[in-house]
């Protein structure tokens, strides 16, 4: 039975394309859309449960009147059928209705809505460009993805379980009290008006305070995760105290925001008790007065008193539900700042998979200044024939990384275009484009998974032997055999730690190279691929890489010019433009920028 209700909705089903709605109500509606056909049942069962609770209170009053009128001698004989029917209802039908209500709200909705919101947010963020993640804390983005799920789920649950139940209960109570005597309903109506105005005014303040509190909480998370992720840098520069102060300033702000939130809660507690006192006196006193004149019965007085006491307790619960809803609204709005951002780089509506036959790359009048008037690339025209190995060199900031990032479509070029085998990369799918390109970077971060999982990332369907062969070609197999993690996993099953921190820089680099070797893409990009290796291992890897390059179109970025001395061609960039282009020997003979960089090297590095 549980399984059936839990699977009424698939939280991981495909959603509509595009970013989530950026406004609160539109976003909540989009999350509740899969539950649309079940919402009437949620409302109906909640309505019946609320009416049933009101009926219990007033039936207890009727029971008192029946006992008073009939007396002990004749009560059971006169009313046994009614009392047995009521007892059976309470014993059997009432638990069934409550269970059904919780199956719908708990198993069908709550168990799915939270993960649906998280999954959709995470899926959307995965499609963001690299620059999106470079401009924010990973910890803050993670916090926003993780906290939006519970906020959405709790908002929907509390609205149906709390607000809808309470509205039904209060309006049902007004109707029943009015039926007893209209003068008993009037104080309840007046209380309801004052109560709603008070809760609304308080909740609006809570929404603002909650959003600021949530924002401060995300900032603390971001700064703490940033320090943990870069702990080696923190230790290396002896900046533990600086990081403490950096986090402390955010925590002080979080404490201040939380204290302001709690102040509102204290004011709320005082005001709520004052209003509830008015309710109890306003309903019970007139009830006693009406009884003294014989206009209502003792049972009706008892029912009215029980109702106000129940409302007294419920009103506090309603306030906290309402406050929590506004608090969740603040959390959701804060999360939407990230998860509702449109993606920068999108596949064209008619995008098709890239079809690589030769792997020729052509840059046509390519310009990209990152929205500024300077920097980046300026009118680049470059053709790399299929199978050619090209080294890209230049001073820092010359535009080498920009060229590669645009080729990978981490960003879209502002002007010009890039073609692979005459296919504009803006018109092909991003996945097919990047599947055709293998890349080894200077800082090859690994996933916090096993060595096996990291190498197989290049080709998930590869066999174990293919993976081992790739590791051997990357000179990684020997050290992998000796790896062991704290959980006792060995060799290829050993965990590498977050970003591969449990391995040396050279070990990480060799695993990254093995991953690219296994991928075997027709285009290969090397961005300082051997910079983390010692000279002996580098010589071995260079030999391997030259073998891997065979038959591929290669772009190699290097500051250490000796690593690209055997390239077919060297392209020299300076201030975003191509200033030299030719074979290594030809450029040396020109005595231009390349020759100057070569002459200034010491031990293989640029001075």
Q: How is residue 10 written in tokens?
A: 């698939």
Model pTM above 0.75: no
- Count: domains in the chain: 2
Mean pLDDT across 258-273: 83
Both 196 and 319 in a single domain? yes
pLDDT for 454:
92
Per-residue pLDDT reduced to its tens digit, 376-432: 898 999 999 999 999 999 888 888 888 999 999 988 888 999 999 999 999 999 999
Both 330 and 450 in a single domain? no
Do 129 and 344 meet the contact criterion of CB atoms below 8 Å apart? yes
pLDDT for 602:
43
Residue 529 located in a structural domain: no
Which of 323, 339, 355 is the C-terminal boundary of a domain? 339
Which structural domain, as residue segments, surrounds residue 121? 27-339
Q: How is residue 530 written in tokens?
A: 């051997």
Residue 318 located in a structural domain: yes
Percentage of the chain with pLDDT > 90?
A: 21
Both 307 and 453 in a single domain? no
Q: How is residue 591 written in tokens?
A: 């005595």
Per-residue pLDDT reduced to its tens digit, 188-238: 888 888 888 888 888 778 778 877 887 888 888 888 888 887 887 788 777
Q: What is the number of alpha carbons within 13 Å of residue 205 lying toward its C-beta?
A: 14
Per-residue pLDDT reduced to its tens digit, 143-158: 888 888 898 988 888 8
Residue 456 has pLDDT above 80, yes or no: yes
Mean pLDDT across 342-353: 88
Return the minimum-mean-pLDDT range out of 127-131, 315-319, 470-474.
Answer: 315-319
Q: What are the helix and strand counts (H, E) for the chain?
A: 21, 10
Cα(351)–Cα(427) distance, rounded to whole angstroms? 5
Q: How is residue 318 written in tokens?
A: 């309603």
Residue 453 located in a structural domain: yes
Residue 180 has pLDDT above 60, yes or no: yes
CATH number of the domain to which 151 belongs = 1.20.1560.10
Residue 196 located in a structural domain: yes
- Per-residue confidence band for 603, with pLDDT thresholds at 50, 70 and 90: very low
Tokens 């390239």 belong to 567
- Per-residue confidence band for 577, with pLDDT thresholds at 50, 70 and 90: very high
CATH number of the domain to which 456 belongs = 3.40.50.300
Distances (CA, A) of 269 to 163, 276, 314: 19, 11, 14
pLDDT for 252:
92
- Per-residue confidence band for 525, with pLDDT thresholds at 50, 70 and 90: very high
Cα(121)–Cα(20) distance, rounded to whole angstroms? 8
Our measurement of the distance from residue 148's CA atom to the centroid of its chain's CA atoms, rounded to an integer in Å, reads 7
What does the CA dihedral 273, 278, 283, 289 come to, rounded to 10 degrees?
Answer: 130
Residue 431 located in a structural domain: no
Query: Whose CA is closest to 388, among 549, 565, 558?
Result: 549
pLDDT for 500:
66
Do 516 and 458 meet the contact criterion of CB atoms below 8 Å apart? yes
Query: Whose CA is closest to 562, among 535, 532, 590?
Result: 535
Per-residue pLDDT reduced to its tens digit, 477-523: 999 998 888 888 899 999 887 666 678 877 888 898 899 999 999 99
Residue 531 has pLDDT above 70, yes or no: no
Cα(262)–Cα(47) distance, rounded to whole angstroms? 33
Both 328 and 458 in a single domain? no
Which of 299, 315, 339 is the C-terminal boundary of a domain? 339
Residue 331 located in a structural domain: yes
Cα(561)–Cα(602) distance, rounded to whole angstroms? 11
Which of 339, 365, 398 is the C-terminal boundary of a domain? 339
Query: Whose CA is closest to 152, among 329, 341, 334?
Result: 329
Residue 39 has pLDDT above 90, yes or no: no
Both 85 and 224 in a single domain? yes
Residue 159 has pLDDT above 50, yes or no: yes
Cα(454)–Cα(480) distance, rounded to whole angstroms? 12
Both 478 and 329 in a single domain? no
Both 196 and 316 in a single domain? yes
Residue 577 located in a structural domain: no
Which comes out higher in pLDDT, residue 460 or 528? Answer: 460
Mean pLDDT of the chain: 84
Helical H runs in 165-239?
165-180, 182-229, 231-236
Which residue pairs from 175-180 have beta carbons closer than 8 angstroms and sit at least 24 positions apart in sequence? 176/54, 176/58, 177/283, 177/304, 177/307, 180/296, 180/300, 180/303, 180/304
Residue 316 located in a structural domain: yes
Per-residue pLDDT reduced to its tens digit, 41-97: 888 888 888 888 887 777 787 788 788 877 777 878 888 888 888 888 888 888 888
Distances (CA, A) of 327 to 212, 266, 380, 433, 557: 10, 16, 52, 43, 50
pLDDT for 307:
80
Both 132 and 281 in a single domain? yes
Both 203 and 327 in a single domain? yes
Residues in the chain: 607
Rg of the chain on CA atoms, in Å: 35
Q: CB-based burial of residue 146 (10 Å sphere; 0-12 exposed, 13-18 middle, 19+ buried)? A: middle
């Amino acid at each position: 039975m549980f399984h059936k209700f839990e699977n009424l909705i698939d939280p991981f089903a495909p959603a509509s394309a595009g970013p989530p709605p950026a406004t609160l109500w539109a976003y909540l509606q989009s999350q509740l859309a899969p539950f649309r056909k079940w919402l009437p049942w949620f409302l109906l069962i909640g309505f019946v449960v609320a009416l049933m609770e009101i009926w219990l209170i007033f039936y207890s009053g009727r029971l008192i009147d029946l006992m008073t009128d009939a007396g002990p001698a004749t009560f059971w004989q006169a009313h046994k059928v009614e009392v047995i029917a009521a007892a059976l209802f309470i014993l059997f039908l009432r638990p069934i209705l409550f269970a059904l209500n919780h199956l719908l709200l708990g198993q069908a909705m709550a168990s799915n809505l939270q993960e649906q919101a998280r999954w959709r947010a995470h899926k959307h963020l995965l499609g963001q460009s690299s620059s999106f993640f470079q401009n924010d804390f990973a910890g803050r983005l993670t916090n926003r993805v993780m906290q939006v799920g519970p906020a959405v789920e709790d908002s929907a649950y509390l609205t149906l379980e709390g607000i809808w139940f309470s509205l039904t209960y209060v309006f049902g109570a007004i109707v029943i009290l009015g039926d007893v005597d209209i003068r008993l309903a009037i104080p309840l109506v007046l209380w309801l008006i004052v109560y709603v105005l008070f809760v609304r005014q308080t909740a609006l303040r809570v929404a603002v305070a909650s959003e600021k509190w949530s924002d401060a909480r995300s900032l603390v998370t971001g700064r703490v995760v940033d320090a943990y992720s870069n702990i080696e840098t923190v230790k290396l520069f002896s900046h533990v105290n600086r990081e403490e102060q950096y986090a402390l300033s955010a925590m002080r702000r979080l404490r201040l925001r939380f204290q302001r939130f709690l102040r509102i809660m204290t004011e709320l507690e005082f005001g709520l008790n004052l209003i509830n006192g008015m309710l109890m006196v306003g309903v019970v006193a007139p009830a006693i007065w009406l009884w003294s004149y014989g206009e209502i019965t003792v049972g009706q007085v008892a029912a009215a008193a029980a109702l106000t006491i129940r409302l007294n307790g419920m009103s506090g619960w309603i306030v906290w539900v309402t406050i929590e809803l506004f608090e969740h609204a603040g959390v959701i709005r804060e999360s939407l700042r990230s998860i509702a951002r449109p993606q920068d780089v999108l596949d064209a509506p008619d995008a098709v998979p890239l079809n690589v036959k030769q792997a020729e790359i052509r840059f046509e009048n390519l310009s990209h200044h990152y929205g500024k008037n300077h920097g980046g690339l300026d009118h680049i025209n470059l053709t790399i024939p299929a199978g050619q190995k090209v080294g890209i060199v230049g001073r820092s900031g010359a535009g080498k990384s920009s060229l590669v990032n645009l080729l990978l479509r981490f960003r879209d070029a502002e002007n010009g275009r890039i073609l692979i085998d005459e296919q504009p990369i803006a018109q092909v799918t991003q996945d097919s484009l990047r599947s055709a390109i293998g890349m080894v970077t200077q800082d090859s971060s690994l996933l916090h998974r096993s060595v096996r999982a990291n190498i197989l990332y290049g080709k998930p369907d590869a066999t174990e032997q293919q993976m081992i062969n790739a590791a051997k070609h990357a000179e990684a197999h020997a050290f992998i055999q000796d790896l062991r993690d704290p959980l006792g996993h060995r060799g290829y099953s050993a965990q590498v730690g977050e970003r591969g921190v449990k391995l040396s820089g050279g070990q990480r680099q060799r695993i990254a190279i093995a991953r690219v070797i296994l991928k075997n893409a027709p285009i290969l990009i090397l961005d300082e691929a051997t910079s983390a290796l010692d000279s002996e291992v580098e010589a071995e890897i260079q030999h391997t890489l030259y073998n891997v390059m065979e038959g591929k179109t290669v772009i190699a970025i290097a500051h250490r010019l000796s690593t690209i001395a055997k390239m077919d061609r060297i392209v020299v960039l300076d201030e975003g433009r191509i200033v030299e282009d030719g074979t290594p020997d030809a450029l040396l003979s020109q005595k231009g920028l390349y020759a100057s960089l070569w002459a200034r090297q010491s031990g293989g590095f640029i001075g």
